[in-house]
Chains A and B, each alone.
Chain A
Amino acid sequence: MRAFLALLAGLWATAATATEANTLSVQVNYLRVERPAPPTLSNLEPIPDDLGIAGAQLGLADNTTTGSFLGQTYALDVVSVPEGESPLEAARSALAASPYLVLDAPAEALTAIADMPEAQGALLFNATAEDNSLRSEGCRANLLHTAASLSMRSDALMQFFASRRWATLALVEGPRPEDAAFAAALRASATKFGLRIEAEKSWAFDADMRRNASAEVPLFTQELGEHDALLVADETHDFGRYIAFNTWLPRPVAGSEGLVPLAWSPVIEQWGAAQLQSRFTEAAGRPMASEDYAAWAAIRTLGEAVTRTGSADPATLRSYVLGDNFELAGFKGRPMSFRPWNGQLRQPIALAQPRALVASAPLEGFLHQVNELDTLGIDAPESACTAFGE
């Protein structure tokens, strides 16, 4: 095993060659595990083919420009694993070429890749999976998360309700596992911030709501009783869009539709974000999504660590990234850093409606003894992650 690791380290040395004292070339691989897109009622927003990938490419371009002044070069290879194929083989060859791997994969694939012998000592970035378990009992020491977790998003929304004193909520939950996971996060966050979800219903229609939402939704929501805001857990954006303005009571909709907590949104334009948005839109020909942002942040994290340490060694970069001196300027108004207890990128969460940013969490008044960003998501005492302990 030891010999094998030594061999591996030798291989990586070629991936990150120091030809001169201060000349570095850093190879990053991006691995996408393709998943079937669930059917949705509306055809309005197709999922872009290059979701996530375009963000990684922008991150690479940003790193390359910076690197050009320091004799550092960066390269990015993208591999997409077709549906039904095991991602492990692709991960193995990616890890043979470089210790730096950005992943767009479901949770089970992420942990399987992180547990491969070839991944020990590598630095993996989760750019899309929001599962709370990956930041808690299911964490891995070699897996950092630039994607925001579900609980970061749900905490952001509940901070907003708490600050508005909208204390009584109702919830409509969709039938898919993603919907259940988001609903669970919303319930936990409501409890955390002292709000009550007084009524819940499961979405149980198979009719085409594009035609009859105005007839069905008022009756469906009538039973929810009195509430200040209606939460919708519909993470595949199937039915939720037909609920707003069709509710029995005139109430704002939030969650997966209406006011949505997001790591990134095209409506963010403060804090210099307009520049990132325009760079992205120019390069990709479409607006920037949360998945693109997380992939961009992963590549920029690497670039920032390489620039500041002058090293391309994965252990050096990992300890710098998890240390106190690391900070990433992420166009969200606060320096971003990684939580040393579970590898999650601390970041503000946007509360966005389709046409404007409503607020940015952490909201004013939600204080924390260490970092206000840690009022969002799994804080050190709540995390069951032990892999980062050593």
Chain B
Amino acid sequence: MLRLALALSLLPAAAQAAEIWVTNEKDDTISVIDIDTLEVTRTIPTGERPRGITFSHDYSVVYICASDSDSVQVMDPETGEILHDLPSGEDPEQFVLHPDNKHLYIANEDDAITTVVDVESRSVVAQINVGIEPEGMAVSPDGALAITTSETTNMAHWIDTETREIVANTLVDSRPRHAEFTEDGAELWVSAEIGGTVTIFDVESKAEKAKIDFEIKGVHPDKVQPVGFEFAEGDTHAFVALGPANHVAVVNMETYEVEEYILVGRRVWHMAFSPDKSQLFTTNGVSGDVTVIDVASREAIKSIKVGRYPWGAALRP
């Protein structure tokens, strides 16, 4: 009977609702949240210490950084079955899929390396020496540039995806965590956890264009530690997770000013939007839950209990 229930739970739902997939770093599982019901519908076992998670552009497979298994796992999102592992270099933490849907750029945190993997041939095509503790990964919308941020070297490394060589290194504040290009490819945003800032680079000149500071009443500045962030529809606002400050900042992307701070769960880390970007799901590592934010009203509307130490989040529409 138990077996039957398990089998049923793995069957694809007839009319598939959009889902948010959350990696639970200390449970070696993924919690799947149904966006309609805002409930966890499935818990799927993974390799050890799952962190970064991303879907292929056609959503046919999901890639998971199983950091302590030293591999990137490729999973069938319908069945939750691990199809195969990709060679990833040691301790993969975060990665980004190139617009060509073929090349994964992986940060190998313990090795000061960015590994480029061809997901079709399942082979490593390049390894690029970067700074210590590479973490944040981004790729420009046109696919020409990839970015690795290194936490201890405090840099964003700009990688030419043709030659797979570093073309520039730009210093940012302490412990850069996450990087994202804007949709038009004109700006690169990089968060610095210990620096407490987000730096915006002009991609053309690779020069610093603006820097955002955060200040929350009643929270010591040392605890305001920007980590993950995502851009709202049309790149009007950025939602920035502030780690142990337990808030998400809403930043106006025209003026670079913080308009609001939304209280969420403890040690907010990464996040993913619903398909229409009306809802935002944040992973809260210490409280072990996901906060659902209503983007229009900028309010937290629900907490959803997931596994231990939720880390990454990805949308499956």
Contact = CB atoms under 8 A, between A and B. Distances in A.
B155 A335 contact: no
A327 B192 CA distance: 12
A372 B220 contact: yes
Interface stretch (B53-61, B169-177, B208-216, B258-266): B169-177
Contacts of B153: 62, 65-66, 69
Nearest to B153: A66
Given A69-B157, A272-B151, A335 B195 contact: yes
A329 B194 CA distance: 6
Contacts of B180: none
A327 B174 contact: yes
Contacts of B222: 334-335, 371-373
Given A65-B112, A327-B194, A335-B194, A307 B174 contact: no
A335 B171 CA distance: 17
Nearest to A330: B194
Contacts of A236: none
A279 interface: yes
B175 A329 contact: yes
A304 B152 CA distance: 10
Given A275-B109, A335-B196, A69 B131 contact: yes
A65 B174 contact: no
Interface string B87-112: 00000000000000000000001101
A70 interface: yes
A262 B196 CA distance: 26
Interface residues of B, number: 27
A327 B174 CA distance: 7
Nearest to A67: B153
B131 A272 contact: no
Interface in B174-197: 174-175, 193-196
Given A66-B154, A279-B110, A307 B171 contact: yes
Given A275-B109, A328-B174, A372-B220, A69 B195 contact: no
A278 B157 CA distance: 23
A327 B225 CA distance: 14
Contact of B174 (A70, A278, A279, A329): A329
B52 interface: no
Interface in B91-150: 109-110, 112, 129, 131-133
A371 B221 CA distance: 9
A168 B45 CA distance: 49
A66 B194 contact: no
B82 interface: no
B175 A308 contact: no
A375 B86 CA distance: 49
Contacts of A279: 110, 132
A272 B152 CA distance: 10
B194 A69 contact: no
Q: Which of B109, B166, B222 is most buried by chain A, counting CB atoms within 10 A of its CB?
A: B222
Interface of B: 109-110, 112, 129, 131-133, 151-155, 157, 166, 169, 171, 173-175, 193-196, 220, 222-223, 244
